[in-house]
Amino acid sequence: MTLSDDSVAPIGGYFELELPSMRQLPYPGSAKFQSARAAFLALLRAGKPKRVWLPRYICNAMLAPLEEAGIECVWYDVNEQLEVDSATRIDIDDWLLYVNYFGICNKKVEKLLERYSPKQVVLDFSQSFFSSPVNKALATIYSPRKFFGVPDGGLLISQIPVSLPEMQDTGSLGRMSHLMRRLGDSPEAGYPEYKRAEEGLAACEPKRMSKLSERVFSSIDFDNARKRRRENFLFLHEELCAENQLAIDVSSITAPLCYPFRTCDKDLRHRLIKKRVFVATYWTDAVSRVSDEWADKMVRNLLPLPIDQRYGRKEMERLVSVILHQNA
């Protein structure tokens, strides 16, 4: 068999998966990594802070880059309004990482940057893809995988130079099976493959975003996704805010990750799953770092209700009926 010249674009041969035409990607100045945690590790190596303050209310995925970089982690508390505790004081050589929780904390980000030097603040927008980067902050990190069906990806916008690694991620094909299965099968059938795909991104050594993910990413209708998420969020808030024990200011939301619904109804998660409404449990890692009361309120009894672009009013009404009427 004659080997072809792979330096030129191919013409002919078998078809690839048909995708929409490539679109302009959001945040064109961002550096594209295989994951948000890899982007964070690259930032740490470039900036070399003495210590980094992390919220106790976070998953361990963002702790791994600090361990890899050999940088001390200092924990801080957030209150029930999801704001940095007033007792938190950072030194001049420290950084503070703040999470835009659920994508509903845009105003809290503004207040945070008035309290601390913006050049010491890293914004974790993994749950807030449609919130614009805050240019005066040291850096903003995004995780497209939490919003779209892509096998990998993390974006970094930084005020300090961060070099992209030469190595590009090549493991995307092995993390595609759950995405394909969801197209032609049930979510239950693909869940084990989804878990394996997540485990495949546990290593945080920085690599460039894979070609496959970049191509899938560029085919997404971002305007439609933003519009749908916002509409679904506002509908759920109108219907459920009286029952929601988490106070939400909707005046500055863009298109959040989910609708965070805090409840004392301990059976609600089971009822939702029984009706095939799948809700995650975020930050179970944090349970060992926070009080039992906080864990009950913000981990065990907080339900991130799905509002994503796959759904419209019909699905949101079904969701509301399960929540408000036990026998729905």
Confidence check: pLDDT of 3 > 70: no
Confidence check: pLDDT of 328 > 80: no
**Where do the domains of the chain lie?**
31-217, 222-324
Structure tokens at 303: 């339900």
pLDDT tens sequence across 131-149 = 999 999 999 999 999 999 9
Rounded Cα–Cα distance for residues 16 and 62 (Å): 35
The values of phi and psi at residue 266, to 5°, are: -70, -10
The CA-CA-CA angle for residues 170, 173, 178, to 5°, reads 140
pLDDT tens sequence across 15-73 = 777 788 888 889 999 999 999 999 999 999 999 999 999 999 999 999 999 999 999 99
Beta bridge partners of 96: 53, 121
Residue 131 per-residue DSSP state: S
Mean pLDDT value of segment 301-318 = 96
Rounded Cα–Cα distance for residues 136 and 82 (Å): 21
Per-residue confidence (pLDDT) for residue 194, from 0 to 100: 87
Report which of 37, 61, 249, 31 is spatially closest to residue 133, judged by C-alpha positions.
31
Q: Does domain 31-217 have CATH number 3.30.1360.30?
A: no
pLDDT tens sequence across 250-297 = 999 999 999 999 999 989 999 999 999 999 999 899 999 999 998 999
What is the band of 327 on the pLDDT scale with cuts at 50, 70, 90?
very low
Q: Is 53 helix (H, G, I), strand (E, B) or coil?
A: strand
| Amino acid sitting at position 36 | A
Per-residue confidence (pLDDT) for residue 2, from 0 to 100: 55
Mean pLDDT value of segment 299-326 = 93
Report which of 44, 67, 105, 140 is spatially closest to residue 246, judged by C-alpha positions.
105
Rounded Cα–Cα distance for residues 276 and 309 (Å): 18
Same fold, 31-217 and 222-324: no
| Greatest mean pLDDT range, 123-132, 165-174, 293-302 | 123-132
Task: List, in order, residues 6 or more apart from 104 with CB less than 8 Å away.
Answer: 82, 248, 249, 250, 253, 256, 260
Confidence check: pLDDT of 183 > 90: no
What is the band of 182 on the pLDDT scale with cuts at 50, 70, 90?
confident
Confidence check: pLDDT of 91 > 60: yes
Give the CATH number of domain 222-324; options: 1.20.1530.20, 2.170.150.70, 2.40.40.20, 3.90.1150.10: 3.90.1150.10
User: Is 285 buried (19+), middle (13-18) or exposed (0-12) by CB count in 10 A?
Assistant: middle
